[in-house]
Chain A
Amino acid sequence: MAVKVFFNPASPQEAVRLMYEQPGRGAYLAGGTDLLCSPEWPDFVVNIRGLLATLAQEAGELVIGAAATISRIAAWQALSEADDGLMQSCARGFASEQIRNMATVGGNLASAVPSADFATPLLALEAQCVIQAPEGQRTIPLEGFFAGPHQSVLDRELLLKIRLPLPSAGVRTEFLKIGRNPGDIATINVATLLELECDKIQKARIALGAVAPTPIRAYAAEEFLAGKPASDENIQRAADLAREAVQPISDQRASADYRRQMSMVLTRRALQRCLGRNQ
């Protein structure tokens, strides 16, 4: 159970090569807040702390290095201006200051727990994942990144960065989370995004976490809202559709019934808040 070798790669390519070529069970190590809590430590670690931490504004998109910490992402003004404070609001309820200074977005996604807090806002923002494989890079939508509880599509590959297409100006977003106390692992979390024209919804994105084997988008609810007036009835209907999209389990945090019901309540509340109606 002890880590026998510690590698400090100079580049992402080298990191991936080490992961493929070294014998034994290896793991990338970023903030360590998930990996070092697990009872089974790998034989070797490939340290990526500080290697992929760049935040950059590029043509029409924002790019977040996979090893950027929650704190740095929360403090990135270009991002909070573009996403109406969505990621910042998520970061505020994420663990404690100490953990936010260590935990990375890449580790949050790669751990692939259904409750991962950064997954829902990033799904709502239609994030793209850039992945480094031995033979080169590929880009996939975040929707296709999760394979099941604790399982992503990565096979020893490295998540390099997250690309966020810039939402249209005036976009409204909201993140809501239920936990035992602020900073706790989510019993359920919801992120919503609305693009409005006059009082009509042009585009809606609704993502939910901890209510299915992976974080999910509520596609039927999103499609229902597109082009509709932002009436209370339509919001309620979308929230009902979100409830139908979830497949929760019962665990020590909540029952499946509670999660199903809260999927509806939080979706409605988040959408109403996007519309400036306090609920």
Chain B
Amino acid sequence: MSLRTRETIKLKLKINGEDNCFAILPGDRLSTVLRREGYLSVKTGCYTGDCGTCTVLLDGQPIVSCLMLAAQAQGSSLTTVEALAQGSELHLLQKAFLDEGAVQCGFCTPGMLLSALALLRRVPHPSEEQVREAFSGNLCRCTGYERPVRAVLKAAAATEESSK
């Protein structure tokens, strides 16, 4: 007896608030499906959970999409960086990244923005240490982390201002 060969699966999930339905294969990684469906902010570097450039939010929590089979995301709700800007209006975090020069090659940036977003939702005014901890799963080979960390602190401070 042999296994039924690679039947396609209907994957229903919400991405950035919109309902989606994709045909996927049982062994497709979530990162592969997202890129195939046009969410090109999701990069892949290592496929071993180390670099974090494939980070997405799954039901609000940062995960690495390379180590999840897409079929496991059935019925869940995902956030990618595409959700951050409202039309041509950049998100506060994106603005802060630009202002601080926190983007060099940009390969790590989508993952960093999502890790930062999840942090700020949990801890609106984090310490520098908390920001560094939140970035511990996002490798950046260009910036040395200083500017991305500063950018997150700046975005957090800006939120404080605007809520005053």
A residues with CB within 8 A of B: 2-6, 8, 22-24, 29, 31-33, 36-37, 41, 43-45, 47, 49, 71, 95-99, 101-102, 182-183
Contacts and interface: CB of A to CB of B under 8 A. Distances in A.
Among A2, A23, A97, A99: residue with most chain B CB under 10 A: A97
18 contacts: A3-B26, A4-B3, A8-B71, A23-B2, A24-B2, A44-B26, A45-B69, A47-B72, A95-B49, A96-B137, A96-B138, A98-B63, A98-B64, A98-B115, A99-B64, A101-B58, A102-B63, A183-B136
A96 B58 contact: no
B52 interface: yes
A8 B26 CA distance: 11
Nearest to A96: B137
B86 interface: no
A182 B136 CA distance: 9
Nearest to A42: B27
B69 A97 contact: no
B68 A32 contact: yes
B158 interface: no
Given A4-B5, A98-B62, A99-B64, A32 B27 contact: no
Given A22-B3, A33-B67, A97-B133, 8 more contacts: A24-B3, A36-B29, A36-B66, A49-B72, A101-B61, A101-B62, A102-B67, A182-B136
Nearest to A36: B67
B3 A44 contact: yes
Interface string B37-78: 000000000011100100100100111101111011010000
Contacts of B5: 4
Nearest to B64: A98
Nearest to B46: A37
A95 B1 CA distance: 41
A4 B136 contact: no
Among A6, A37, A44: residue with most chain B CB under 10 A: A6
Given A37-B49, A41-B27, A96 B136 contact: yes
A95 B3 contact: no
Closest CB pairs A-B (n = 10): A96-B137, A3-B27, A6-B26, A98-B137, A6-B71, A101-B61, A2-B27, A23-B1, A36-B67, A32-B67
Chain A interface mostly:
loop
A4 B6 contact: yes
A102 B3 contact: no
B83 interface: no
A5 B61 contact: no
B36 interface: no
Contacts of B26: 2-6, 44-45
Contacts of B3: 4-5, 22-24, 43-44
Nearest to B1: A23
A2 B1 CA distance: 18
Contact of B69 (A3, A71, A99): A3
Contacts of A101: 58, 61-63
A102 B1 CA distance: 34
B114 to A, nearest CB: 9
Contacts of B96: none
Contacts of B25: 2
